[in-house]
Amino acid sequence: MTSPILVTGAAGFIGHATVHRLLDRGETVVGADIVNDYYDPALKAARLSTFDGRRAFDFHRIDIADADAIARLVRERGVTRVIHLAAQAGVRHSIAHPFAYERSNVAGHLAVMEACRHQPGFEHLVYASSSSVYGDRPMGGQGFSEDEPCVSPVSLYAATKRACELMSQSYATLYGFPLTGLRFFTVYGPWGRPDMAYFSFTDRIMGGRPIEVYGEGRMARDFTYIDDIVDGIIGALDHPPAQGAHRLLNIGDSEPVPLMDMIATLERALGREAVKIMRPMQPGDVTATFADISKLNALTGYAPKVRLTEGLGRFAQWYRAYHGV
Instruction: Provide the pLDDT for residue 1.
Output: 62
Residue 154's contacts (CB-CB under 8 Å, 6 or more residues apart) are 132, 135, 136, 284, 285, 286
Instruction: Provide the pLDDT for residue 40.
Output: 94
Q: Residue 140: is its pLDDT beyond 80?
A: no
Q: Residue 279: is its pLDDT beyond 70?
A: yes
Q: Residue 187: is its pLDDT beyond 90?
A: yes
- Beta strand 57-60 pairing with 5-8: unpaired
- Give dist(CA 301, CA 1) in Å, integer: 27
Per the annotation, the verdict on 214 as an active-site residue is no
What percentage of the chain reaches a pLDDT higher than 90?
Answer: 85
pLDDT class of 117 with cuts at 50, 70, 90 = very high
Q: Residue 92: is its pLDDT beyond 90?
A: no
pLDDT class of 287 with cuts at 50, 70, 90 = confident
Mean pLDDT score across all residues of the chain: 94
Q: What is the pTM of this model?
A: 0.96
Rounded to a whole number of angstroms, the distance between the first and last alpha carbons of the chain is 45
For residues 63-89, give the mean pLDDT: 97
Instruction: Provide the pLDDT for residue 138.
Output: 67
pLDDT class of 123 with cuts at 50, 70, 90 = very high
More confident residue, 149 or 239: 239
Active-site option among 157, 188, 302, 319:
157
